[in-house]
Structure 1
Amino acid sequence: MIPAKLRVAVVGAAVMLVAACAGTPAAGPSPSPASKTPSSASPSAKTMADVMTSDNVKLVANMPRTAPLDGPMSWNSDLAFQGNYAYVGNFGGFSIFDISDPTQPKPVSQVSCPSQQNDVSVYGDLLILSIDEPRGGEKCDSDQGTGPSSAGWEGLRIFDISDKKNPTYVSAVRTDCGSHTHTMVPGKNPDTLYVYVSSPGPEPDSKTCPPPHELIQIVEIPVKDPKSAKIVAKPNIFPDGQGEGMFAAGCHDITAYPEKNLAAAACFGDGVLLDIADPVKPKVLQQVRDTENFQIWHSATFNNDATKVVFSDELGGGGMATCDNKTPKTKGANAIYDIVDGKLERRGYFKMPREQTSNENCVAHNGSLLPIKGKDVMVQAWYQGGVSVWDFTDSHSPREVGFFDRGPAGGDHSIAGSWSAYYYNGYIYSSDILKGLDVIQIDDPLTDPAKQVKMDDFNVQTQKSY
């Protein structure tokens, strides 16, 4: 989701864009007819939380948000995993769950640390949060740093999670325009961790986000001395400038694949392929644009052998109903690019095929690859569109394999649904903005081989081969 400070302008433009596109024929392949139930899968009996699923998918557990992380704006956000633990970001802080039995997750601890985003990742005994909102100070007890006397602070917060029942704040690093998302890139020495900070900007009158801002920021964290973490580079990865007509510069999200010395950056108006052999000096291999179909380049996912990248478009910034019959199938969707001779070549598009109501915010959001050798399969969140599992082994003809759909949140909830949906050690974990942590199981001949792969940890923006 784009930050509130830029959302109004982007959503306003998206309203005009969707209106202009209504009735426009969709380019590229059409995955399947738009309906709540695709022809290939009928809904199973509703379970636990009045959800609808394909026959091969079921909800096995739900952990509702609890105090103090259950307020009106205490939205669940991103996820990370380590051993038998799941870490759930929340605009009010973060939670840790014991998932040694995925069908019965157990709360371990909660940390109150308010801020927009709180994108979370874990590395050894460290947990890192992205803070994308000016605060009065770097610590968790700071208030919103918007008063005239406030210096304003935003960036990264670092915690010690060696004691899962009692995480402790360690330090913080201030970054220009804060940190909307971040990406871990382990150094050649395992005691050094590099973190790529993605943030939108600039804001000319802001104390925390001055112009210009066509860059990313790289933070070095000495694992044994995280208090000495600092910014070590601010590379400009846009040699040709950024896409015209966008409301933000910088990047929304970067996915690194350290084993392949590659990273893919989704940077609002552009997709960028990077060589990260030297993690402090990333080199641009290619910069691509799709002004016809993409509005906000939101995130990127490599396939396992790094011969493809899936870029997603967060049309409207996550606050609009773009999965209705008025929005073309190539907008608010995924674009599949093959990497041919080191260059990105677009092959096809995928959008989850069930038509949603005009009251459901729905657009492509966070997802991850399933570990299946020889196949390219993803699970992905679509806000109120739910969770979709889809196969892009044939880049030209992607198809949905299974789905989970709660339906409209109702009431005054204009923002709801699945923020992130990731596959980890046999189950899908979905961070639902309002409903909490869902654990979902898929049983299908295509996806069953993934159950044989055991991961020790998983941070979706730092891909590993399997």
Structure 2
Amino acid sequence: MLFTCVSPAPHPAVRVVRLVFIALLLLLAGPASAQRSRNVTLLSHMNLYSSSGYSSCWSYVHSDGREYAFEFAQTGASVVRLTDPANPVEVAFFNLADSRWHEGRQYQHWFYITTEITTGRNFGGLTIIDMADPDHPHTVSSFHSNLYGAHTIELDTARGLLYAAGAAGASGQGLYIYSLADPTNPVLLTVYGNGFPDYIHTIHVDGLRGYASMGILGTVRILDLTDPAHPTTITEFGTPGGLTPGTTLSHGSTHSAWNSVDGRYLYVTDEVSGVGLYVYDLLNLSNIRQVYRYEGLPPRTVAHDPVIRGNLQFQAYYTAGARVYDVSNPAWPAEIGYYDTFPGRDGGFQGCWEAAPMFPSGIFIASDIETGLYVLRVNTNYGIVRGTVQQAPNGPVIVGAAVTQGAASTVSFSDGRYSIVVDPGSAVALTFSQFGYETLTKTLSVTPGSDQTFNASLRLKDAGTLSGVVQRGSDASPLSEAEIAVLGTPLRALTDANGAFTIASIPVGSYQVRCVRAGQVPRVLAATITKGSTTALSYFLASPLSYDDVEADRGWVLGDKFDDATTGLWVRGVPNGTIYIRTGEPIQPGRDHTPDPGAACFVTGNALVPSTNSLTDCVQGGQTTLTSPALHLGGFTDPRIGYWRWYANYFFEFTPDDPLVTQLSNDGGQTWVSVDSLYEPPSGWTYTELNVANTFAHPGDVFLRFIAQNRGDFGLVEAAIDDISSYSGSGIGAQAAPAAPVLANMTASMVGRPHPSPTHGPAGIDLALARTARVRADVFDVQGRLVRTIQDGTLTAGLHVLSWDGSIVGGSRGPAGSYWVRISSEGVTTSSRLVVLR
């Protein structure tokens, strides 16, 4: 694990509470075998040191074939016998210096452990365990006379060499290379490199080559180790995660690498959110090419250490668990399955740290940072289907198409390619779908061990165009920068200076189209799209009851007596943008939301100048509160509050667990009701509407407040609020275009499509009700079993979003696959397909 940004470490008590909370989550989720998995079987689970937490793990195989696991807790190494993998037995525990980073490797009947620690020379170093009697192992050496500590370790067992990477010792920082000619007394041959910035984070050795992940440099350096006392550089190349996009600034992320069995391909991870796994072709070292990038997981997931054993790749993926890939085609891996050790939301550095497969029996182990050792076995009875998804006939590749077969699912990547592992069968039906295209189902015969190609061509649905103009209702003047959204689809547009918009290639059908613009009441109009035609919509937007563009002080309160954040307090001003140095994503907005000449917004902290340092004035150490003046909503029909918000929530250590909380009060702030908690925000400025009547039957004067918080973990939190308005949702005072019925005058209700679909997490279904009505919404799996009821009760007339968080009965997260959302109201039932990817 490599961090390039630092914020205050949590107090030890915070960590203990968090570990207890994780343990409670696991208990509530039921037995470990109930956690999410596909094609990977849990044989056993051991969690002996939950109070300290865990890091890496590795395999030990004795000369007589007995198998053992080394599981590293923060305070030492647990040795676990796996001769009966369903009933593991701890045979020893070796105390080590307290550290997050312990790594180990086997050489003959010895096991070598490195520890990284930064508090002086007397801790860390190298520990050697004698496993001659593996049920009674003992320490034979623990020295740090010339090696104070190391981040990672690698062994060349054929030549008896030990490589300690990210090391520090008497000879400075660098890659420490030792001879194991005397296994209990390693002899230092050389120290390669000079520490920062020439820092080697990990090295994988195969034969006479070393593949060094250079961390801070953002490169992989291939070394000639023919003479291990004098390594030389063969070549060096950069990885996509190694540079902040659009800059020459390295965010120090090239983390680890492992080569294919034939040595031609290199598998590289950068330990950066959304970057994932890359495969490089090393055939021509003067022209190393990227030939593959895995894009099948949510963008916040983080890949850790890849390990290759034969034709299988084992990948620790932090919150996405331990994942296994078929690399018989090494330039085009196919995911066989996974075991998710972490029950929470994806993102951050929790979950699976390491997957170690070096066991002849075919089992593998995984180490979870909170919950310890998992003993697993992968199911190898499968076939592979791979190919390209493109537009028919002979059109461009289609990115993000969902490819599903039962519980198996994937998407087409940015090059249009897909690969999917399926259960054998004579009639295996693969479904290919993407918004705007006709769904294709292909039935194939799949035999065990087969690897076949099917290129899917999807035909565009019949489509039309939507165009129109947005005007102010009071004077018919055009409104620029109004957002037009075709609800239930990914289609969006902004109006130009003349208030005009056009959205092309909308599949034929009936839609609800929402128009939102700062300082105006949003409107939803019905539109019917016909093939080859242009449908016209005209919006006349009314003025709201109140509107605050935040350009002046209108009585908002910055702070609260319960606030305890040390930095990143709410201020009003012109925002100065910051970025997350590891991905280039914006953390604090670079401008407000109000159309020009607007410039100011409420923002948490505000660096004096635009900065690439995302830690500059972000929320740290607690909460900060922003409270509105009274909003006078008494006597109005269907009162609503709308606003634009910006939220960034990146946690290096844990998944995002400090939401942006929105609260309402109608008693002068004596009591508050939470109406929204945002954990994982969309990118950019987004519009949010609160139906106040859902909280207060008789609201009167309402106060609105926002609480941004960061309770001390490694992370980044920034929030911004702009363009706050209150209005009547029934459209009082609005001047709707006479040719287009407004939502309040609709004679029938309308249901949108689930969005997003496919989804890696939650999804929503837009519902427009013409009148107050009872609505029931159920989610069913492909076998027709009810897995969740997401709505069962009365809803008022207007626009609603029915949300499913992805969980099923019992609270666990539903597996990947196809689901159907059935919505019933007033005797009418509609069903929509939703694809879930994991």
State the shift of 1:49 in Å. 4.5
More strand by share: 2
Q: Could you say which residue in structure 1 is the equivalent of 2:296?
A: 353
What residue ranges of structure 1 are gaps of 5+ in the alignment? 12-44, 136-144, 146-150, 202-207, 316-321, 450-466
Whichever residue aligns with residue 334 of structure 1, its letter is L
**Residues 270-419 of structure 1 aligned to structure 2 (within 5 Å):** 270-290=219-239, 295-315=252-272, 322=273, 327=274, 331=275, 333-343=276-286, 345-351=288-294, 353-355=296-298, 362-372=301-311, 377-394=312-329, 397-409=332-344, 415-419=349-353
| Aligned partner of residue 297 in structure 1, secondary structure | coil
Structure 2 residue 138 is the aligned partner of structure 1 residue 167? yes
Change (3 A) 1:364 1:175: farther
Q: Could you say which residue in structure 1 is the equivalent of 2:213?
A: 266
The whole-number CA distance in structure 1 between the counterparts of 2:126 and 2:92 is: 21
> Is this contact kept in 2: 1:47–1:58, CA < 8 A?
no
The whole-number CA distance in structure 2 between the counterparts of 1:370 and 1:159 is: 24
> Is this contact kept in 1: 2:242–2:254, CA < 8 A?
no
The whole-number CA distance in structure 1 between the counterparts of 2:58 and 2:287 is: 28
What residue ranges of structure 2 are gaps of 5+ in the alignment? 10-28, 244-251, 384-447, 450-838
> Is this contact kept in 2: 1:253–1:265, CA < 8 A?
yes
State the shift of 1:393 in Å. 4.5
State the shift of 1:392 in Å. 4.2
Question: Cα deviations across residues 154-176 of structure 1 (Å, max 9, x unaligned)?
Answer: 43222333343242241314456
The whole-number CA distance in structure 1 between the counterparts of 2:147 and 2:138 is: 26
2:96 paired residue among 113, 117, 126: 113
The whole-number CA distance in structure 2 between the counterparts of 1:161 and 1:388 is: 29
Q: Could you say which residue in structure 1 is the equivalent of 2:720?
A: none
Structure 2 residue 71 is the aligned partner of structure 1 residue 88? yes
Question: Cα deviations across residues 219-276 of structure 1 (Å, max 9, x unaligned)?
Answer: 233435x2x433221133x9xxx9xxxx754111111112xx2221111121011222
| Aligned partner of residue 6 in structure 2, secondary structure | helix
The whole-number CA distance in structure 1 between the counterparts of 2:30 and 2:179 is: 47
> Is this contact kept in 2: 1:57–1:443, CA < 8 A?
yes
Change (3 A) 1:248 1:431: farther
Change (3 A) 1:342 1:445: farther
Whichever residue aligns with residue 155 of structure 1, its letter is G
Whichever residue aligns with residue 194 of structure 1, its letter is L
Q: Could you say which residue in structure 2 is the equivalent of 1:155?
A: 125
The number of aligned residues is: 347
Structure 2 residue 5 is the aligned partner of structure 1 residue 2? no
> Is this contact kept in 1: 2:302–2:349, CA < 8 A?
no
> Is this contact kept in 1: 2:280–2:291, CA < 8 A?
yes
Question: Cα deviations across residues 163-212 of structure 1 (Å, max 9, x unaligned)?
Answer: 43242241314456730001112464xxxx321111168xxxxxx6997x
Whichever residue aligns with residue 124 of structure 1, its letter is Q
Whichever residue aligns with residue 296 of structure 2, its letter is P
Change (3 A) 1:446 1:218: farther
Two-structure CA RMSD over aligned residues (Å): 3.4
The whole-number CA distance in structure 1 between the counterparts of 2:237 and 2:264 is: 16
Structure 2 residue 365 is the aligned partner of structure 1 residue 429? yes
| Aligned partner of residue 221 in structure 2, secondary structure | strand
Q: Could you say which residue in structure 1 is the equivalent of 2:718?
A: none
Q: Give the TM-score normalised by the residue count of structure 1.
A: 0.66
Change (3 A) 1:160 1:438: same
The whole-number CA distance in structure 1 between the counterparts of 2:88 and 2:116 is: 29
Identity %: 21
Larger Rg: 2
1:196 paired residue among 160, 163, 167: 163
Question: Cα deviations across residues 362-421 of structure 1 (Å, max 9, x unaligned)?
Answer: 41112322323xxxx3111111110111234445543322111234348xx974311111
Q: Could you say which residue in structure 1 is the equivalent of 2:57?
A: 78
Q: Could you say which residue in structure 1 is the equivalent of 2:380?
A: 444
The whole-number CA distance in structure 1 between the counterparts of 2:277 and 2:364 is: 20
The whole-number CA distance in structure 2 between the counterparts of 1:255 and 1:414 is: 25
Q: Could you say which residue in structure 2 is the equivalent of 1:420?
A: 354
The whole-number CA distance in structure 2 between the counterparts of 1:344 and 1:177 is: 38
Question: Cα deviations across residues 35-93 of structure 1 (Å, max 9, x unaligned)?
Answer: xxxxxxxxxx9863531112x222121111x2xx4423x42323132232222222211
| Aligned partner of residue 132 in structure 2, secondary structure | coil
The whole-number CA distance in structure 1 between the counterparts of 2:137 and 2:222 is: 39
> Is this contact kept in 2: 1:121–1:129, CA < 8 A?
yes
The whole-number CA distance in structure 2 between the counterparts of 1:308 and 1:344 is: 13
> Is this contact kept in 1: 2:125–2:142, CA < 8 A?
no
